[in-house]
Structure 1
């Protein structure tokens, strides 16, 4: 095996289920952080364009942080709970079928292995041995793509989203508060761009995709959001005053 092939096998195509689970919640965490950065930056930039009152900016930023973090957590919990319910329902159905029709299920499993390219004899032997070892695991993985020992975790997803959104939101919130009035907007924009560069790079690495497009999408989207809210804040602030 050549060195490039060995590296690809070891690093680019992890097959361990625990690795896949970690990558899933890491991607969710990166998404939460990215959302926290962009949405909170939009709020504080918009408010900063309308007023110079630090307390007003702080109140708006904290309100956006709290609402966004809770929304992300609840949304992830509901979404992943629905997925978990579906997984458990499918596993319950598979258990009933294994209990009531074990021969038919064995033949079905063997045929699936044969469809993947194994000979009928080898497919039958594999199906028999895996069924004897862990019937539900073998059938669930092959038929449903579900690992009964690694079901989705709603609370883990909710917690990861809440924490990551909060951490991301603190970047623009602190940036806009720690500098003087004249430097608030440019410093916040700079901090947000750097943060989005980081989350774009991390999301690309986790997804084994090209870093450049991911970073560009992140930064362009974030800058566009800040530009729109800044324009709205400037207009509203002018009209109110």
Structure 2
């Protein structure tokens, strides 16, 4: 009877970017709306600030992720180039190096050498990239994917408190945006935790706590400067 296990590590790249984008979209936009509303601004000004925050935040997230992941990709390519030159210059020493890695992981010396020889005969660079450097196809840097995921999910996240502010003007705006945003954050944390195989409750509580703190601080700033103005 065959047994198939479902692993989630291949989701790390896009899941991190997507969760980070949506979380930032909800927290930053909701905090911005609450802060501006706490300063007693008109609804038009509140919505304009929220929309500007959505556009600026989405572009910032996309640019930040692209630059960050591109730097990671450049480093991976540089390491692979070094390894490729080493294989071309001294193939046997690289084979011994790979065998020592397998010995360190628990294989007997003879078996480690045999495994290293067979793997390098099949794909020498791939074997060293995976087992010496730690680069594999499933976790390699994908700048465009990360940037796109962050921008889209930030926009979706930011749209949620913005829509709430649009439909609930007046004195109830702050409370409705805050409560709805915290609900969205709890759902996001739970979904992300479930996708990653972690505790749903812990994931939900973690993002909700930091979201509530951010909103409370910006509301306080809005109150202070609203009174001063």
CA shift for structure 1 position 64: 1.0
State the partner residue of 2:5.
10
2:73 is aligned to: 84
**Are residues 1:37 and 2:22 paired?**
no
Secondary structure of residue in 2 paired with 1:10: coil
How many angstroms apart in 1 are the aligned matches of 2:223 and 2:198? 38
2:155 corresponds, among 138, 161, 166, to 166
Counterpart among 126, 142, 149 of residue 137 in structure 1: 126
Cα deviation per residue 1:180-228 (whole Å; 9 max; x = unaligned)?
Answer: 3122112111210111111111232233322223222211211121112
TM-aligned CA deviation for residue 172 of structure 1 = 0.8
d(CA) in 2 for partners of 1:149, 1:76: 18
Inter-partner Cα distance in structure 2 for 1:147 and 1:52: 52
Contact 2:63-2:147 within 8 A present in 1 as well? yes
> Does 2:61 correspond to 1:66?
no
Larger mean Cα displacement after TM superposition, 148-157 or 40-49: 148-157
Aligned twin of 1:181 = 170
Q: Please name the residue that 1:206 is paired with.
A: 195
Note if contact 1:91-1:148 (Cα within 8 Å) is conserved in structure 2. Answer: no
**Contact 1:23–1:206 (8 Å) recurs in 2:** no
Q: 1:223 to 1:165 in 2, by over 3 A?
A: same
Shift of 1:239: 2.5
Alignment of structure 1 residues 142-161 onto 2, 5 Å:
142-147=131-136, 151-161=140-150
Structure 1 consecutive aligned stretches of length 4 or more whose deviation exceeds 4 Å: none
The alignment's TM-score, normalised by the length of structure 2, stands at 0.93
Paired residues in the alignment total 228
8 A contact 2:13–2:146 mirrored in 1? no
Q: Give the structure 1 partner of residue 44 of structure 2.
A: 55
The Cα shift of 1:152 comes to 1.1
Q: Structure 1 residue 233 and structure 2 residue 228: aligned?
A: no
Structure 1, unmatched stretches of 5+, are none
SS in structure 1 at match of 2:5: helix
| Structure 2 gaps, min length 5 | none
CA contact (8 A) 2:62 2:150 kept: yes
Structure 1 residue 96: Cα displacement: 0.3
Q: CA deviation at 1:45?
A: 0.6
**What's the counterpart of residue 212 of structure 2?**
223
